[in-house]
Structure 1
Amino acid sequence: MLITQNLSLVRILRSTWKVDLMMIFTCVATYYLHEYIVSRAIQIPATLATLLGTAIAFFVGFNNNQAYSRWWEARTIWGAIVNDSRSWTRNILYYTVPGELTIDELAALKKRIIFRQIAFIYALKESLRRNAEGYYKQFLSETDLEQVNKESNTANAILSLHAIDLQQLSQAHAIDEFRFVQFNTLISALTDHMGRSERIRNTVFPTSYIYFTRLFIWAFVIFLTLILADAVGGWSIVIGWIIGFIFHVTHQNGMGLMDPFDEISTGIPLNQICRTIEINLLQMLGEKDIPPPVQPINQEYYL
């Protein structure tokens, strides 16, 4: 996620240089096509560029709105995961009593449950980003890890272990029925957040929208250069490139939000969010070995 209001020229060029070169080549080729072929055969009306530009603006605006909606929903989901993780930990720490357990048994169970919650958020992050770092494994006991490895959905398996320990707390009279319902509601909420995240990850943005928008932008650049060649001559190359660059970069910015869980500068900062949850939960538990916060890359963005 970008954290700066301004982008350096180097960063802009690094992300757009291929489009710039293709745009310039297209404008140059179109200009010479106009000079030697088109101008002798047909006169293209200027209204064509106006109509086509208006239509493309609607296409680009629609794509960007839909992409931003996906990005914002993903950010909202992970904001809720942060809150529910803190609530889950607070409830485990302060709303449980020994009951039929010893104080040491309850303390060990609390620690195991809270560590497992940290494992859940890291396992979900790895699933959404489709990598296998295995960072979550250090927060699971050998028994839990053996159980989790039996299932393909690691995050869901961890929530099942939460449910098993919740039942153990209830049977040991460490929580009453009212608090059992509260705890179960939090597990259900975490399951809902997980499912919504997976829906965004697994739902492909309609390819036709992306493909035809790009195709129409290139068509617009060609027609605009042809039309301007009659009025401004060789300057039509520069103007066509500038207008095309604006449309392409605007569309590209929207597409950068299309897959919010990708490990890119415009994606959701899952590394930062997960580390924040880890720090908060460990501090609530009273642990001394606290990892440092994630630092921004080049002071521009978090991953």
Structure 2
Amino acid sequence: MTQAIWPVATFSMFYSLAISAVDYWVPLDAYELPPGVATFPGTFLGIVLAFRTNSSYSRWWEARILWGRITNDSRTFTRQLISFTKPATSPGDNSETTRRIVNRHILWCHTLAASLRDEDVSSNPEAKIASDELQTYRQCRNAANRILLQQAIDLQQLHQSEALDRWQALELDRSLRRLTDHMGGCERIRHTPFPPMYAMLIHYLVFAFIIILPFALLEMPALGLIAFTVPVSIVFLAMEKVAQVLETPFADTPSCTPMLALCRNIEIDARQMLGDTDTPAVLQPIDGVLI
């Protein structure tokens, strides 16, 4: 974000200096604007930017809430599956089908995160799933949705084999339905961009305000003009850039939703509930950023 702000700050500084120099040699009294001409647009622009920032923050916060629900429902789904299917006397005593469903759910989390970032979902080195099954998912347009279908098929087979009774199967199906709802919410945010015309209008208004601001402050000395216009320009442009970053909560940016870290936490919790001891390590922030 700073890479986009500093060029504008430099432009604002030299632009204000140029206006002051021209006014010194060729008085610009005929072009001087009343202070109110800058005050009113500045107030209006601040309100519009605040509205856009709040709208973008709402998208970012909703994305984080959805992934928090995915985390919680993943724990619930794993707990239900392990406790419903032949209750074990020890944490590691789980059927092959139960392990396969849990491993497939871990794959679902990673696949969903990759699809939201437009990354390749065809390979996942951490997936403990048969290669032929993985090949089936790679051929699907929406691999995450196909994984949920396979989960439902396996749960139905467990019900038919009487490993699950009717009510247990219904509870697990409700968990799958909630996960489907969360996936749909994430896809809605990902595929519904902020209205581009509205964003473009605000961008042009910010630059128009930067252009007219010095003409409302011609009575100030050159240094005072620069000291006032440059910080104001940076504030308005920074607000616009913050809104642009927050409106894409799944992009690979420092302020994005840390989906990879959340997927790793889900994987650790699921494998520990299965009784595994060789769980992966928790992802740590890199340069203070958790992805």
CA 1:272–1:34 in 2, change beyond 3 Å: closer, same or farther?
farther
* Corresponding residue SS for 2:217: helix
Native 8 Å contact 1:275 1:293 kept in 2: yes
8 Å Cα contact 1:20/1:245 also seen in 2 = yes
Report if aligned partners of 1:75, 1:268 keep a CA contact under 8 Å in 2. Answer: yes
Q: Please give the alpha-carbon distance, in whole angstroms, between the structure 1 residues aligned to 2:23 and 2:264.
A: 57
State the match for 2:56 in structure 1. Answer: 67
Partner Cα distance (1:74, 1:240) in 2: 36
Cα pair distance change 1:191/1:162, threshold 3 Å? same
In the other structure, the counterpart of 1:131 is 119
Partner of 2:268 in structure 1? 279
Q: CA deviation at 1:195?
A: 0.8
Deviation at 1:62? Answer: 0.8
- Structure 1, unmatched stretches of 5+, are 1-11, 99-103
- For 2:150, give the aligned amino acid: L
1:215 to 197, 204, 209: 204
C-alpha distance in 2 between matches for 1:33 and 1:158:
67
Counterparts of 1:91 and 1:56 in 2: how far apart (Å)?
52
Note if contact 1:119-1:136 (Cα within 8 Å) is conserved in structure 2: no
Q: 1:44 matched to which residue of 2?
A: 33
What is the correspondence of 1:160-179 to structure 2 with a 5 Å cutoff?
160-179=149-168
Alignment of 1:1-303 (within 5 A): 13=2, 16-32=5-21, 34-35=23-24, 39-97=28-86, 107-132=95-120, 134-135=123-124, 138-298=127-287, 300-303=288-291
Q: Which runs of 5+ in 2 are unaligned?
A: none
| Farther off after superposition, 232-241 or 276-285 | 232-241
Supply the RMSD in Å over aligned alpha carbons: 2.2
**Conserved in 1, the CA contact under 8 Å of 2:70 and 2:179?**
yes
| Partner deviation per Cα, 1:53-94 (whole Å, 9 max, x = no partner) | 011011100110100000011000000000111111101111
Q: Aligned equivalents of 2:3 and 2:194: distance in 1?
A: 25
CA distance in 2, matches of 1:25, 1:288: 62
Q: How far, CA to CA, are the matches of 1:188 and 1:123 in structure 2? A: 17
CA contact (8 A) 2:32 2:218 kept: no
The residue matched to 1:231 in structure 2 has which SS?
Answer: coil
Conserved 8 A contact 2:84-2:164: yes
How far, CA to CA, are the matches of 1:89 and 1:13 in structure 2?
Answer: 43
Answer whether contact 1:120 1:159 (CA < 8 A) is retained. yes
Report sequence identity in percent: 33
Distance in 2 separating the partners of 1:109 and 1:271: 26
Letter in 1 for 2:109: I
Specify the SS of the correspondent of 2:206.
helix
Query: Which amino acid letter does the alignment assign opposite residue 120 of structure 2?
Result: A
**Normalised by the size of structure 1, how large is the TM-score?**
0.88
Deviates more, 1:108-117 or 1:134-143: 134-143
**TM-score normalized with structure 2 length:** 0.91
Give me the whole-angstrom Cα distance separating, in 1, the residues matched to 2:101 and 2:141. 21
Deviation at 1:148, TM superposition (A): 1.6
1:122-171 deviation line (CA, Å, top 9, x unaligned): 00000000011622672322242133233111100100110110110110
Task: Look up the equivalent residue of 2:193 and give its one-letter code.
Answer: V
For residues 80 and 38 of structure 1, do their structure 2 counterparts lie closer, same or farther at Cα, with a shift above 3 Å needed? farther
